[in-house]
Amino acid sequence: VIRRFEAERSQTVMIAVDTGRLMTPMVGGMSKLDRAVNAALLLAYLGTEAGDLVGLLVFGRDVITYLPPRKGHRQFLAILEALYSAEGRVEEPDYTRALTYLAARLSKRSLIVLFTDILGTEPSKRLLGVLGGLAPRHLPLVLTQRNRVIEARARQEITTEAEAYASAVAEGVLRDKAEALGVLSARGALALDVEPEQLSVVAVNHYLEIKARGRL
């Protein structure tokens, strides 16, 4: 009876890592992709230790790696090996292809933790479109990293026409990103723009909170 209860309580966590061009910039000595990989590994370790089924999707323009959700330390080692070889690519991520591929392989309600970044209205629309099809069947958690360079440019003191133009562009970029994350939240996803150094902590805390509240 105890074993049956534990099996029923096992939850599915799918970790999706974007390797596209917006994940390649360096922040504090590490690329955004490196920080996403570190956060994904910590999440995978805690998930497998907790008895959850944990899977992995690595993607850019195409699906690079897919590991179906499984339990146990062997699964963590497989995820470790896959993420160790993940490299940033100067290409736009194809959210539709990647997340449609993922959804077709998930029969059980899952927490989908997506490490990505968005810039501009078109990528935001593509992400909104495909994630709208995942919720409410699944629970998406979208984690992006703040861009301090753009934030500083938006706040800079204006002394020239060129600085005024650069500041206006930066403000538009930040506004578009905030609006996209807001729409994701309104459609049932959890969407957060966090400090790069806090990415692992935020990912783990939300995973633990979701488990504690029984949202899966």
Query: pLDDT by residue (tens digit) across 105-162?
Result: 998 999 999 999 887 666 667 787 787 778 778 999 999 998 776 666 667 777 787 7
Distance CA 98, CA 63 (A): 6
Asked if residue 101 lies in contact with residue 63, where contact means CB atoms within 8 angstroms, the answer is: yes
Token output for 47: 């998930």
Which segments in the chain show pLDDT lower than 50?
A: 1-8
Q: What is the pLDDT of residue 214?
A: 85
Closest to 138 measured CA to CA, from 116, 115, 107, 180: 107
Element spanning 149, H or E? helix 148-155
Q: What is the pLDDT of residue 55?
A: 98
User: For residue 54, what are the contacts with CB-CB under 8 A and spacing of at least 6?
Assistant: 12, 13, 14, 15, 43, 44, 47, 48, 69, 70, 71, 75, 76, 79
Q: What is the pLDDT of residue 3?
A: 44
Q: What is the pLDDT of residue 196?
A: 92
β-bridge mates for residue 192, sequence order: 143
The helix/strand/coil state of 192 is strand
Asked if residue 191 lies in contact with residue 184, where contact means CB atoms within 8 angstroms, the answer is: yes
pTM value is 0.87
